Structure formats: structure tokens, C-alpha cells
């Protein structure tokens, strides 16, 4: 049960990841699949952010000096860390995963835009965004002779 408390974030993130992946694989609708893909990517970001959390921490934006409570908390949570100079007794969360996931979110929205643009063209070319319809129409195409120039 202790494991559930300390690793709750990871378990939820895994479930969210799999929900996204399930949508991508199971849905026949191209738009729905893109939503699933976006969910999958967002959740991968949540995983990184969970890794970078530090108990009692605050956002990695330097402040002049922490309040008395913050300093006390810092000393309690991580004495070696708090003793270091330059921090003025404030615990910061790890900025590296934040920077990485900012990049990953951008990649996600880029993928979403391109994917939906292709889906729109599929609707225009095939008249449907259902995988099953497109497969049938593609198969018809494959049996026809190639168009001549």
C-alpha cells in the first residue's frame, strides 16, 4: 500500500498513456485516433514532470531569499541541499524535465496539426474518415489499372 502512495503518479500516468494508445489502436475514426495520439504524447510529458518533482519544492524560478518557513522546510527535507550556497534556503524542482517537456508539447501540437490536415484531405479524397471505408476504397483502387498520362 505504501508503494501505491509513493508511486501513485507513475501508475496513473501509465494508465493515461495506455488510454491514449488504446484510442489510437481501437478507434476507426481518424480524428478520434489523433485525439488518442495527442493524449498519449501529453501523458508521456506528465511522466517526465513526475520525475522532476522535489518534495517541498517550488518552481525553478530564482527568488531572492526564501521565507523562514521555506528555509526550515528545506533544511528538513534535504539538509545537504539546503546548506549549499546560492540557494538561500529554497528548494527548487528540477528544471531539466520541464525544459524537455516544453519541447515535447510543441512536437505534439505539430504532429496534431499535420495529422489533422492529412485527415481532412483523406475526407476530401475518399469521402470518409472511417478507416474501414478507406480500406475498402483503397482495395478497389488496387484492382484498377493505373491511369495513363
Interface of this chain with another protein, residues 93 to 122, rule: CB under 8 A: 93-122
Residue corresponding to grid cell 485527415: 119
Burial class (CB in 10 A: 0-12, 13-18, 19+), 65: exposed
Shortest Å, Cβ 131 to another protein: 8
Which of 1, 8, 68, 136 is in the footprint of another protein by CB under 8 A? 8
Query: Would you put residue 146 in left (φ > 0), alpha (ψ -120 to 50) or beta?
Result: beta
Q: Is 17 in the site for another protein (CB under 8 A)?
A: yes
Q: Is 136 in the site for another protein (CB under 8 A)?
A: no
Interface of this chain with another protein, residues 32 to 61, rule: CB under 8 A: 32-35, 37-42, 44-61
Amino acid at each position: 500500500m505504501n508503494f501505491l502512495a509513493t508511486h501513485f503518479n507513475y501508475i496513473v500516468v501509465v494508465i493515461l498513456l495506455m488510454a491514449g494508445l488504446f484510442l489510437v489502436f481501437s478507434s476507426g475514426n481518424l480524428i478520434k485516433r489523433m485525439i488518442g495520439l495527442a493524449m498519449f504524447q501529453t501523458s508521456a510529458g506528465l511522466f517526465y514532470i513526475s520525475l522532476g518533482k522535489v518534495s517541498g519544492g517550488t518552481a525553478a524560478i530564482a527568488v531572492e531569499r526564501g521565507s523562514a518557513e521555506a528555509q526550515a522546510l528545506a533544511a528538513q527535507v534535504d539538509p545537504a541541499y539546503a546548506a549549499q550556497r546560492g540557494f538561500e534556503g529554497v528548494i527548487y524542482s528540477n528544471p531539466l524535465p520541464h525544459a524537455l517537456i516544453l519541447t515535447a508539447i510543441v512536437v505534439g501540437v505539430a504532429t496534431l496539426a499535420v495529422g489533422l490536415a492529412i485527415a481532412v484531405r483523406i475526407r476530401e479524397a475518399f469521402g470518409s474518415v472511417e478507416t474501414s471505408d478507406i480500406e475498402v476504397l483503397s482495395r478497389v483502387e488496387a484492382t484498377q489499372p493505373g491511369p495513363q498520362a
